[in-house]
Amino acid sequence: MNRNIRIDHPVEGVEHPEHRVDFELSPGDIQAVRFGISPGHELAHAVRVLLRPQQHPLQWGWLREVRERLPRDGFELLTAVIAEDGYLPDFLTATASWDMTPDAELDALRSAPLEPMRVDLGKMVLRSTGSRQRALREMQQRPTRARAMIADAWEEVWEAAVAPVWPQLDRLLRADIAVRARTIASSGISGMADQLHPNVSWGPGAVRVRLRKHSEQVDCRGSGLVLVPSVMSSWGCMVLTEPPAQPTLFYPARGVTAGWARSTAEIADALAALLGPARAEILLGASAARTTSQAARDAGIAVSTASHHLTVLRAAGLIASEREGARMLHLRTPLGEAMVGAVL
């Protein structure tokens, strides 16, 4: 009797090379696609990296720094909720946006609706066994208490493991978004989608994502699609498709190297070797729009000197300057974001 079962077509929940999610869009509708930042996604995958460090060599520099300072109880609780692979509950992450902050993400978790949370916990109960299943079932039965405990654990693990490197993570994520947005402007959505990841492509009117165990068609023509880069989940793509969640595609940020967790001082030194100390300081500080006077004060130089360096950086395409009333504001361009990201 032949016990080998051959599966020639995708079956939900079973690995197959032809599984894919199609996010259906109008081909010319640039407004339907936007980018976002998700601190909650980074934290969830930081937990998974800590659970399976051997599979994530790009995170080893970060791992060496955080292992000894993890809060044991908080980490164990998040481990039960997140696990090392597979389904990630929707309630752990708010809708990603450009201005999403860790504090806003935590506030959203503390006030997450209880019934959808119970549904998510129920899904995890079905996907687990043993002590984890018992812990999840208890959370499902007492969702108000569980929500508070999970949020407290989120905050503890964030402060210990992710907060110290959030400036580096944030720079990488925003550098990636700047490059992708520039690609949309020059090559359209199809050109950008084809460069996101080997598992992502542009089909007839849809962003297509190859997945291991799931297939679905998602109509985004009314709601749009959120694209979210990630440093911690640098091995592949994930999706959010179930209402009321905004259709979302998480993909690995570009330019992530084993040295991404270096301190700001080390990054400044690397840029200084290329640009000079003053210009490196000005470029690093230009993640938010600043006046010439502010740039001068932060770099510890005269306003006239800062103006000269800003002119050089602007001529090189690294800084964009725009007048706002009587003030001139300076901000990193996509090229400037890419340069800072490359140093990481």
What is the arithmetic mean of pLDDT over 293-307? 93
Span 208-238, pLDDT tens digits: 999 888 889 999 887 889 999 999 987 789 9
Q: pLDDT above 70 covers what percent of the chain?
A: 93
> In whole angstroms, how far apart are CA 36 and each of 224, 226, 233, 249?
12, 7, 15, 10
* pTM of structure: 0.77
What is the C-alpha end-to-end distance of the chain, expressed in Å?
A: 56
In this structure, of 1-5, 31-35, 334-338, the range with the lowest mean pLDDT score is 1-5
What confidence score (pLDDT) does residue 3 get?
A: 39
Residue 170 clears pLDDT 80, i.e. is over it: yes
Read off the pLDDT of residues 314-324 as tens digits, 9 standing for 90 and up: 988 888 888 88
- CA pair distance 99, 80, nearest whole angstrom: 29
Alpha carbon distance 238, 84 (integer Å): 14
| Of the listed ranges 48-52, 99-103, 339-343, the one predicted with least confidence | 339-343
Query: What secondary structure letter does DSSP report for 308?
Result: H
R_g of the chain, CA atoms, integer Å: 22
| pLDDT, position 2 | 38
Q: What are the backbone dihedrals phi and psi of residue 260, each rounded to the nearest 5 degrees, phi first?
A: -65, -30
- Please state, as a whole number, how many other Cβ atoms lie within 10 Å of the Cβ of residue 228: 27
Q: What is the mean pLDDT of the chain?
A: 87
Contact 162, 42 (CB under 8 A): yes
pLDDT for 335: 74
